[in-house]
Amino acid sequence: MTTSPTPEPGDPSEPTVPSEPSEPSAEDKAEELRRFNTREQDSAWRAVAYMLTGPLIYGGLGALADHWLGTTWLVGVGIVGGMALSLYLIWFRYGTH
């Protein structure tokens, strides 16, 4: 009767059993929650920045055009247009999840 040799530990011919995924530790869960909260806060502040910069930039361009053309209504169009573009950008970026 012949016996097969016992494989040594770490022998590549030894079948491997996949290990079960371990439960994340409390520190891992806390770190993941912190990263999620940071992303959400960054998104909120970015949306506020869009709401401020759109009307400011386009209102400023309207004011320059008013000065150059001698009109008085383009600053209002720039502010309203900048707000509309800001709202569209926020909706496009954050509203289509």
Q: Chunk the chain into consecutive blocks of 10 residues (it has 97) and report each block's average pLDDT, rounded to whole numbers.
A: 60 60 76 77 89 97 97 97 96 82
DSSP secondary structure letter of residue 16:
P
Q: What is the pLDDT of residue 10?
A: 59
For residue 28 the two structure tokens come to 């891992």
**25 domain-assigned:** no
Euclidean distance between CA atoms 61 and 73, whole angstroms:
12
Q: In the chain, how long is the greatest CA-to-CA distance? A: 108
**86 domain-assigned:** yes
Q: What is the pLDDT of residue 73?
A: 97
**78 domain-assigned:** yes
Domain count, the chain: 1
Q: What is the pLDDT of residue 27?
A: 80
Q: What is the pLDDT of residue 77?
A: 97
**28 domain-assigned:** no
**63 domain-assigned:** yes
Q: Is the pTM of this model over 0.75?
A: no
**31 domain-assigned:** no
Cβ burial of 80 (10 Å; 0-12, 13-18, 19+) is: middle
Q: How many residues does the chain have?
A: 97
